[in-house]
Structure 1
């Protein structure tokens, strides 16, 4: 089985740069799965800069759910490495798409949402494993900052933290980045 690599760290810590460096070392035919949605000028600029930084021969798939659709994509079939950037944006998108009123929803509704998010994560991981691909997943470390002052932030932190633990447990290698420096922790 090909390796699963998780790269985590804080905002602007060098996660994506490390992931792209590792992808260049490990794969020739890379499919970059971009989970960001360009919802404002800041995100549009960030996406533009990420696109410019990536090698031109990498295929890009913009997707944060329904990963089974990528199996038929010719670039996916030809790839030997998948780089997903980023898992926490994927979780954010799925949470926002749920249209839950996070200030007033029940914990049962939150639990259902988390199960739905984990279904998407499992679908992605199963596709990677079933197709014998090396994969690098970028995610934000959300458990080292301030406790969010609003309920949705707490729910996000908890779900993203559990997703990160789940993927780290399945990963062959895990890296933590801080100030552009990588630390191998698994």
Structure 2
């Protein structure tokens, strides 16, 4: 029986740790999907901390686009897929599609959002057609101040709508605050 769990919350809210605990409870053969790119020293250190926390027997897939195909290619005997995180995936896709967000037309922004939503729809579809548990981690980006930069506002809006899509499709949704997960669906 397939199952989709969405875990959301702010930065440093305990989302990833909670997701990893859920995967340990459920899974014997876990595929960890890491969407971060080691673009600078800070990100390299964050990635290293995440890797150090994960059980060594978990397999890792480092990818951020066409995830349905990438996951399907290595899913064979896995009973759990932990994808961390959706919002980094969105950031990577946004940056890949456009560099100068201040000069983009609204039509181009909508085109990029459609591309991202299509990628999310494909992940949701894959989660429903397999027997594996899918645990998706995402940031709640709508609780802070309105970003000053155009790209920041577009990122907040796109990730907010993606999170709504995922929450609708999810069997369970958890919101983490200060390391405390609260089940909201």
For the pair 1:54 / 2:58, whether they are aligned, the reply is: no
Matches of 2:70 and 2:166 in 1, distance apart? 21
Structure 1: gaps (5+ residues): none
Q: Give how far 1:65 is off.
A: 0.8
Tell me the secondary structure at the aligned position of residue 145 of structure 1: coil
Q: Give how far 1:66 is off.
A: 1.4
Structure 2: gaps (5+ residues): none
- Report the counterpart of residue 76 of structure 2 in structure 1: 77
For the pair 1:167 / 2:166, whether they are aligned, the reply is: yes
Matches of 2:47 and 2:19 in 1, distance apart? 16
Tell me the secondary structure at the aligned position of residue 103 of structure 1: helix
Matches of 2:30 and 2:47 in 1, distance apart? 18
Matches within 5 A, 1:92-107: 92-107=91-106
- Report the counterpart of residue 2 of structure 2 in structure 1: 2
Kept in 1, the 8 Å contact 2:2–2:129? The answer is no
Matches of 2:71 and 2:42 in 1, distance apart? 28
**Post-superposition CA distance 1:3-32 (Å, at most 9, x none):** 110000000010000000011111111000
For the pair 1:119 / 2:118, whether they are aligned, the reply is: yes
- Report the counterpart of residue 145 of structure 2 in structure 1: 146
For the pair 1:134 / 2:133, whether they are aligned, the reply is: yes
**Post-superposition CA distance 1:39-84 (Å, at most 9, x none):** 11010000001000001100000011112133222xx211001000
- Kindly report the root-mean-square deviation, in angstroms, between the aligned alpha carbons of the 2 structures: 1.0
Q: Give how far 1:122 is off.
A: 1.4
Q: Give how far 1:100 is off.
A: 4.4
Q: Give how far 1:101 is off.
A: 2.1
Matches of 1:170 and 1:131 in 2, distance apart? 15
Matches of 2:165 and 2:99 in 1, distance apart? 24
Tell me the secondary structure at the aligned position of residue 76 of structure 2: helix
Matches of 2:73 and 2:37 in 1, distance apart? 23
- Report the counterpart of residue 19 of structure 1 in structure 2: 19
Of 96-105 and 51-60, more deviation after overlay is shown by 96-105
Tell me the secondary structure at the aligned position of residue 101 of structure 2: coil
Kept in 1, the 8 Å contact 2:29–2:78? The answer is yes
